[in-house]
């Protein structure tokens, strides 16, 4: 496995020099952030990230994310222009040495939590999802802005998007995804890039918008659409693991054997009556079998990228929710420790 760490670029309060000091760190996971969704990334911006990584002795081999324009997910006639731009980005990133691109196919909203700073018994804070905090809320009328959501949408734009999605059910979303994959995967193959779709987080519909990258049956369906290695997965334990039907250890065993997992997001969560809470990465902090996950990856000689996903806020750190330095560094080293033990 190759250890990696998400870094939001120059604006990130976490310094890249500090990331370098985490034992066994290999690659940053980053993106060009100052370009609108759907546009082409400049070679200068891509190479600048690469240089910043290499200057401290790291690599830049993973992009998270090249976001997919809503017109592609909606299947609008304008999608071809955005798909052409997407392909151009894949080519440019491949040329710059990027080996893996993470993206998602969630309509409108990315990951959803209801609170960012839930205080735990030990005084740390973390992200949580409580059903009762979501109930009765309407993103179109309430002045709500949940973490992970693209806050650049104005209410009017959101209304328009929701109206357009009224015509997109799950099957339509599948066919729009198929159209997209059939266009981009051959380009990725040529560029030496592995595409790694991120599961929907949480893996169920939010506010009536369809979500399809949610469980084993659908992952099987996804992988068959273009049945080559380059069409692969970001396996996020914390996203898929919050649906109790998803046996993440067994699924990871299966998909890593098939060489279809290119990127692992390791995060633990704890089931509570009303939803779930994010915890430290450690086995006993939450409900997921993190050791079991690493065991099957090790057994299957997983040589893709792993990053510690969301950390808690600890030791007085303030910063981007889920993406501080300290707890993610603890998570990385927890993963390192288990991996070393398995090696030996
Ligand atoms: C949340 C992340 C997601 C992820 C995207 C991938 O912390 O895991 O925002 O980056 O869904 O496109």
Q: What is the 3-state secondary structure (H, E, C) of the chain?
A: CEEEEECCHHHCCCCHHHHHCCCCEEEEEECCCCCCCCCCCCHHHHHHHHHHHHHCCCEEEEEECCCCCHHHHHCCCCHHHHHHHHHHHHHHHHHCCCCEEEECCCCCCCCCCCEEEEECCCCCEEEEEEHHHHCCCCCCCCCCCCCCCCCCCCHHHHHHHHHHHCCCCHHHHHHHHHHHHHHHHHHHHHHCCEEEECCCCCCCCECCECCCCCCHHHHHHHHHHCCCCCEEEEEEHHHHCCCCCCCHHHHHHHHHHCCCEEEEEECCEEEECCEEEECCCCHHHCCCCHHHHHHHHHHCCCCCEEEECCCCECCCCCCCCCCCCHHHHHHHHHHHHHHHHHHC
Confidence at residue 146, expressed as pLDDT on a 0 to 100 scale = 67
Residue 37 pLDDT: 95
240 CA → ligand 1 middle, Å: 13
Task: Give the pLDDT score at 148.
Answer: 63
Interval 229-277: pLDDT, tens:
999 999 999 999 999 999 999 999 999 999 999 999 999 999 999 999 9
Tell how far the Cα of 200 is from the centroid of ligand 1, in angstroms.
9
Tell me how far apart the alpha carbons of residues 325 and 283 are, in angstroms, rounded to a whole number: 20
Q: What are 196's strand-pairing partners? A: 102, 232
Spell out, as residue ranges, where the chain has pLDDT lower than 50. Answer: none
Q: How far is the CA of 311 from the centre of ligand 1 (A)?
A: 14
- Quote the pLDDT of residue 76: 97
Mutate to test the pocket of ligand 1, among 110, 177, 320 (most ligand atoms within 8 A of CB): 110
pTM score of the predicted model = 0.97
| 26 touches 1 (CB < 8 A) | no
**So what's the pLDDT on residue 66?**
98
- Check if 198 is active-site: yes
Token digits of residue 68: 């997919």
Q: Which residues line ligand 1 (CB under 6 A)?
A: 64-65, 102-104, 110-111, 148, 198, 265, 310, 322
d(CA 59, CA 9): 14
284 is catalytic: no
Q: Ligand 1, atom 7: nearest CA belongs to which residue?
A: 310
Q: In the structure encoding, which two tokens stand for residue 246, read together?
A: 């998803």
Q: Which domains are seen in the chain, by residue range?
A: 2-107+170-343 (3.20.20.150)
Residue 145 has a pLDDT of 66
């Amino acid at each position: 496995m190759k250890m990696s760490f998400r870094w939001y670029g120059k604006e990130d309060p976490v310094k890249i020099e500090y990331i370098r000091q985490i034992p066994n760190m290999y690659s940053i996971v980053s993106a060009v952030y100052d370009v609108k969704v759907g546009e082409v990334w400049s070679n200068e911006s891509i190479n600048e990230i690469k240089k910043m990584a290499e200057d401290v002795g790291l690599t830049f081999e993973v992009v998270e994310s090249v976001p997919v324009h809503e017109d592609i997910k909606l299947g609008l006639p304008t999608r071809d222009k955005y798909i052409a731009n997407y392909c151009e980005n894949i080519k440019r990133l491949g040329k710059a040495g990027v080996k893996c691109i993470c993206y998602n196919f969630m309509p409108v909203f990315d990951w959803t939590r209801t609170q960012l700073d839930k205080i735990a018994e030990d005084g740390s804070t973390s992200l949580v999802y409580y059903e009762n905090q979501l109930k009765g809320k309407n993103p179109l009328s309430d002045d709500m802005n949940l973490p992970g959501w693209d806050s650049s949408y104005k209410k009017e734009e959101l209304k328009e998007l929701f109206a357009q999605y009224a015509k997109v059910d799950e099957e339509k979303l599948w066919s729009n995804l198929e159209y997209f994959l059939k266009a981009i995967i051959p380009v990725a193959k040529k560029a030496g890039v592995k595409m790694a779709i991120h599961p929907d987080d949480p893996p169920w519909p939010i506010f009536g918008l369809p979500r399809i990258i949610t469980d084993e049956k659908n992952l099987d369906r996804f992988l068959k659409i273009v049945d080559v290695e380059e069409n692969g997965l970001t396996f996020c334990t914390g996203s898929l693991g919050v649906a109790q039907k998803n046996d993440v250890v067994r699924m990871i065993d299966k998909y890593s054997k098939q060489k279809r997992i290119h990127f692992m997001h390791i995060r633990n969560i704890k089931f509570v009556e009303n939803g779930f809470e994010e915890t430290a990465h450690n086995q006993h902090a939450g409900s997921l079998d993190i050791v079991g996950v690493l065991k099957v990856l090790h057994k299957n000689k997983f040589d893709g990228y792993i990053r510690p996903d969301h950390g808690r806020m600890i030791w007085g750190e303030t910063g981007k929710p889920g993406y501080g330095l300290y707890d993610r560094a603890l998570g990385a080293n927890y993963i390192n420790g288990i991996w070393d033990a398995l090696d030996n």
